[in-house]
Amino acid sequence: MTDTTDDIAEEISFQSFDDDCRLLGSLLNDVLQREVGSNFMEKVERNRVLAQSACNMRASGIEDTAELLEKQLISEISDMTLEEAFTLARAFSHYLNLMGIAETHHRLRKAQNMAHMSRSCDDIFNQLLQRGVSPEELYNAVCKQEVEIVLTAHPTQINRRTLQYKHIRIAHLLDYNDRPNLGYEDREMLIEDLVREITSIWQTDELRRQKPTAVDEARAGLNIVEQSLWRAVPHYLRRVSNALKKHTGKSLPLTCTPIKFGSWMGGDRDGNPNVTAEVTREVALLSRWMAFDLYIREVDSLRFELSMNRCSDSLSRLAHEIIEKETSSVDRSESWNETLNRSQSKTYSQSGAALPRKLPEGAYLPSCTVHASATMEFLLVLTNAKLYAQTGTYPVDFKDHWGLHFKLTVIFVHSQHFTGSICFECKDGESKYPKLECPGTGYMPLNRQDGKAASSSNTLFQDSDKNLCITNGNGTVANSSYSPSASTPRTVSFSSGQLLSQRKLFAESQMGRSSFKKLLEPSLPQRPGIAPYRIVLGNVKDKVLLMKTQRRLELLLEDLPCEHDAGDYYETADELLEPLLMCYESLQSSGSGVLADGRLADLIRRVATFRMVLMKLDLRQESARHAETLDAITSYLDMGIYSEWDEETKLDFLSRELKGKRPLVPPTIKVAADVREVLDTFRVAATLGSDSFGAYVISMASNASDVLAVELLQKDARLAVSGELGRPCSGGTLRVVPLFETVKDLRGAGAVIRKLLSIDWYREHIIKNHNGHQEVMVGYSDSGKDAGRFTAAWELYKAQEDVVAACNEYGIKVTLFHGRGGSIGRGGGPTYLAIQSQPPGSVMGTLRSTEQGEMVQAKFGLPQTAVRQLEVYTTAVLLATMRPPLPPREEKWRNLMEEISKISCQSYRSTVYENPEFLAYFQEATPQAELGFLNIGSRPTRRKSSTGIGHLRAIPWVFAWTQTRFVLPVWLGVGSGLKGVCEKGHKEDLIAMYKEWPFFQSTIDLIEMVLGKADIPIAKLYDEVLVSPSRQELGAELRRELMTTEKYVLAVTGHEKLSQNNRILRRLIESRLPFLNPMNMLQVEILKRLRRDDDNAKLRDALLITINGIAAGMRNTG
C-alpha cells in the first residue's frame, strides 16, 4: 500500500478509474446488503454522504459548513454500539482496499496503452544516444550493470497473505473486464466471480491472530518470486534486449543479468531473537529447494514443447550417450533382479510360500479405508493395479515378485509429502502372500523362524507407537500394540525417527528409484533421432529431481546424512546452464531460432538471474553482539576483555589473528547462549558459503574494528568447518558490509573506510576475494528518527560522497547499499527520483537497495508492475552512471544546506528528545502502543526494553504518526530550517537550488508529497479527544509548525497549493477522503473507549480494523 508506484504511469484515465470504483463499490454494497442487512447499510451510506459533503465544503473553502458536517458525523459515530462501529470500520476498510486495487489496475492499463513510455529502456536508450553516448558505450554499460534488489521482512505489510491473494484475483478480473470483445454471458460470469471474491473477502478475518515466524516471512518472500518475479524477469529482459537491439544492433546476451535479487528474510537477526542460526539454515535450503522445484516445472514444459528431431551433431552425440547410459543401467538392474529372483524363489520354496503371478482378484477395489492424507504416489499405484485387473497388462516391473503391499510401503516411506500416520482397515482374512524384506543399502538376507520375522537388526521395518500400518494382500491390519502370530497379518510401522532413517536408507535404493520413475513417465526412446531435445532435457530433469539435487536438499533439511557423489547433482548454475545452452545453440544452428528464443531462452535467463537459490540471503547483526562474542573468547583465553580495549589495540589484535592460520576459538569453549548463537550463525555461513549467502551486514557500525571483528569470526568458523569436513568450505567468504545509520556514524563513514583500506591485510582481501569491490550500506530509517528527514537526507548525501572519495583514493570500486524504507519518513519515495538524486559518482553501474514490507507487494506483487519497476531500476541506474546528476552549482548552496540542516535538526531534536512532555504526548495522541497487536512481523517493536523514543524502531515511529494523518517525522524541523534561511534573504537562492539541483528538488518534492496527505483537522481531533489538557498546547504548537512548513515549501517550489505538480496524486487522495475521514473518526472513538477498558478484546479488534483501513487509505504504513 503505497503511493510511491508513481513510476508506473504519469497519468491515468479518471473516467475508467471512476467506473471501476463504482463497479466494485456497488458489488460490495450488494454483498453487505445480504451480510449485514439494509438497515445498517442505510447508516453506512449516511456516514459516507456526510463525509463526502464535508470534503466538498472544505475543498470549496466553506470551512464553517465543513466543520458542522464533521461534528454531525463524529456525533453519529460516537452513538454507535461497538458492534455497529466494528462493522462500519470493516465496510469502509474494504471500500478503501478495493479503491486501491482499482488505482493499481488503471496505472497498469495506462502503461500498457502508451505507445511511448517515459523512463522505459527504449526512452532512456534513445535519450543517451541523443546526448552523444555511442552505441558501443551504451551496450557495454547495460551489459555490465549490476543492480541487486534486496527484499526484507520489515513489518509494514498489514494485509494478510490470504487477502493479498484475493486482491490479486480481483485485479485479474478487472483486467479481464477490459477486454473489448467480452460477450454478455462472459461479462455476467465475470460479475459473478467478482461477487464471489468480495463475499469471500468479507467473510474472511482481516486480522492475523498470531505473529508470523521468521520462516513464514521467508516463505512470503519466496511466494513473491513464484507468483510474480518468475514471470516478470524474462519479460523485463526481453524489453531490455529488444531496446538494445533497436538502438545498438546487438541483443542482450542470454546469460547477462542487469538485475538480481537478495533477501533479508530469515537472515536479519538485528534485534530479532527469533532469527536463529537454525532458521537461517532452513531458509537458505528452502530457497534452494524452491528454485529446483520451479526449474523442474519449466523443464517439463520445455520437454513437451521441443518435440522436433532436427538438431546439431553435438546434441545428437549427447543424446546417444544418455541413452547408452540408460540402457546399461537397465541391463545391470535386470541382471541384479534375476539374481535376486532366484535367491528369493529358493528362500520361499523352502518356507512353502509361492510368489504371486498376478494381483489377487479385485485388488483394485476400494477395500481400504484411509485414515490420513494419501499421497499422489499412492494413487498412482492404485491406478496401475486397477489397469492390470481390467486389461491384464501392468505398466511397472514389480508385479512378478514384489507385492502391492511392499510398493505402497516403499512409496509412503520415501515420499517427502508424507505428514501423518496412515492406517488401512482392510477386509478380514489372511493374506495369500508373504511379507518381503526390502533390499536396499543395508539389505540383510531373510531369516525366518517359526513364521516370525528376523530380529530388529536384520529387518527393515519395525513396530512403534506412532505407526504406519499397511497390510499385504487382503489381510486385516493390527494396531501398533499387536503381537505377530500366525493368525495376525503382517504390518509395517514406523516411529518418526525410524521413518526419517528409512527415508535415508531407501534414498540409495536403485530399485525404488527406477520403479517409481517408471510410474511417473515412460522410458526414454531407444533411438536418439527421436526427440533428442526431450532426451537431453529428460536427463536434466532426472539430475534435478528424481535422485539428485532436490532429494539432497530434502535430506539436508531433515538433518539426515547426505553423501552423494558431486557429479550426481547440480552444485552451480553453470552446470545447469550447460545443457540448456547446448539445446539453444542446436536450435539456432538448425534454423529453429524462433523456438530457441521462446521458452528455452526464458529458462536460461531465469537460471542466470535466480541461480540455484532464487535470492541470496544476507545476514545482519548488530556490532555490539560481535563485541560480546569476542569478549567471551578473549576472556576464555585470558587475554583480557576485548570491548575494553581502545580502537588501535583492537585493530592490532584483529589484524594479527587474521594473518594467522590457526583457529582462534577453541572447540571446547563454553559460552553464554547469546554468544553461542553468534558463533553458530558463522558456522552456518561457513557451511553453505557464498553460494547461498550474499553479504554480512553490520548494523550500528562505527569503527573499522567492527568490520575486522566479523572477518575474524568468519575466518575462524571456516577453518573449523573445513577441518571437520576434511576439505575446503563450499563457496567463498561473505562480503562484510558496514551499515552506517545514525547521523554521528554517517559523518564518520568516510574515515572508517579509509582506515579499513589502509590496513594491508584488508585491502588485499578485498582485491583477492571480492574483485576489488567494497560495499557500504547507508541507513535511512534510523537517521531520520535520529535527526529528522531533512537533516538525514543531507547527511546521507555527504556520507556517500565521502565514502566514494575514500575508495577512489585506494583504487577500490564501491557499491552503495541503500537501506530505504517504504514510507518517505524512512527514506522511501519513487525509485527513479531517488536514484537520480544521488551524489555524482556514487552510482557507477552498481547499486543495492532494499524493498521492504508493503513495498514488496506494491512493486512486485503483480508481474506487470514488477516488469515496470525492474525497467525503472535499470534506466535510472544507467542514466545516473552515464549522465550523473548535477552537483551543487556553487559552494554557497552547500553552505545553505548546512544551515537549513542545522536549524532543522535543532528544532526536531528539541521537540522529540528534549521536550519532557513529548513522549507522553506521542503515546496519547497516536495508537503506537496498540500497533504491536497487529502481529505483522516476527521481530519486537523495540530493540531494547526501554520506553523512550531512542530504542523505538523507526517503523512504529512513522506508522503511528501516519495513522493520525499528522505524518510528523517527515516535516518536523523543515519549516524552521527554510524559514531561518529565507529570513536571512536567501529565498531566491533556494528557488534556484530547487530548479537546478536534483538532490534538493527531490528532497523538497517528497516533503511536499507528504504534506499533501497531512490533515490538520483530523490531527486536531486526536488531540482534543485523547490528549491530556496539559499537553494539548504542545499539539497546537506542532500544528502551527506544520502550517509554517507548508508555507515555506510552497514559497520554495513556487506552487500555489500542495501537490500542484502532482495532480494525479492529489486527485487520488481526494477520492479516498469520504471513506478515510470516517475511519479516523472511528479510530479516535474506539481508542477513547479502549483506554477506559483495555481488556476488551472486541474493542481491540475494532481498533486494529481501523488501523488496517487507514493504512489502505493513506497507502502507507511505516
Give the cell for residue 209.
Answer: 491472530
- Give CA 958 to chain center in angstroms: 22
The residue whose grid cell reads 580495549 is 645
Torsion-angle region of residue 559: left (phi > 0), alpha (psi -120 to 50) or beta?
A: left
Task: Please state, as a whole number, how many other Cβ atoms lie within 10 Å of the Cβ of residue 1116.
Answer: 29
Question: Which member of 94, 110, 154, 211 is catalytic?
Answer: 154
Nearest of 285, 190, 171 to residue 228 by alpha carbon: 171
End-to-end CA distance of the chain: 10
Strand partners, 852: 152
Give the cell for residue 170.
Answer: 480481483
Distance from C-alpha of 753 to C-alpha of 1079, rounded to nearest angstrom: 49
Contacts of 696 (CB under 8 A, 6+ apart): 618, 619, 620, 621, 685, 710, 714, 734, 735, 736, 737
Could you give the 3-state DSSP secondary structure of residue 387? helix
Contacts of 343 (CB under 8 A, 6+ apart): none
Q: Judge contact between 397 and 518, C-beta under 8 A.
A: yes
DSSP string, 85-145: HHHHHHHHHHHHHHHHHHHHHHHHHHHHH-SS-TTSHHHHHHHHHHTT--HHHHHHHHHH-
Q: Quick check: is 154 catalytic?
A: yes
Distance from C-alpha of 279 to C-alpha of 281, rounded to nearest angstrom: 5
Distance from C-alpha of 765 to C-alpha of 756, rounded to nearest angstrom: 11
Nearest of 848, 717, 882 to residue 773 by alpha carbon: 848
Nearest of 393, 339, 398 to residue 516 by alpha carbon: 398
Nearest of 516, 520, 521, 496 to residue 506 by alpha carbon: 516
Give the cell for residue 338.
Answer: 534375476
- Its sign, for the CA torsion 557, 563, 565, 568, is negative
Q: What is the 3-state secondary structure (H, E, C) of 240-272?
A: HHHHHHHHHCCCCCCCCCCEEEEECCCCECCCC
Q: Judge contact between 48 and 150, C-beta under 8 A.
A: no
Q: Quick check: is 785 catalytic?
A: yes
- Give CA 47 to chain center in angstroms: 39
Cα 607 to Cα 26, 283, 547, distances in angstroms:
45, 20, 20
Q: What is the radius of gyration, based on Cα positions, of the chain?
A: 33
Distance from C-alpha of 691 to C-alpha of 781, rounded to nearest angstrom: 30
Question: Which member of 167, 785, 798, 1013 is catalytic?
Answer: 785
Q: Judge contact between 412 and 452, C-beta under 8 A.
A: no
Contacts of 1008 (CB under 8 A, 6+ apart): 1049, 1053, 1055, 1058, 1059, 1061
Could you give the 3-state DSSP secondary structure of residue 618? strand
Please list, residue by residue across 595-622, b when 16 or more beta carbons sit within 10 angstroms of its beta carbon and e when fewer do.
bbbbbbbbbbbbbbbbbbbbbbbbbbbb
Could you give the 3-state DSSP secondary structure of residue 427? coil
Give the cell for residue 354.
Answer: 509361492
> Angle at which helices 63-78 and 38-59 pack, to 10 degrees?
160
Give the cell for residue 777.
Answer: 550500506
Distance from C-alpha of 868 to C-alpha of 848, rounded to nearest angstrom: 18
Q: Judge contact between 214 and 272, C-beta under 8 A.
A: yes
Residues carrying an active site annotation: 154, 785
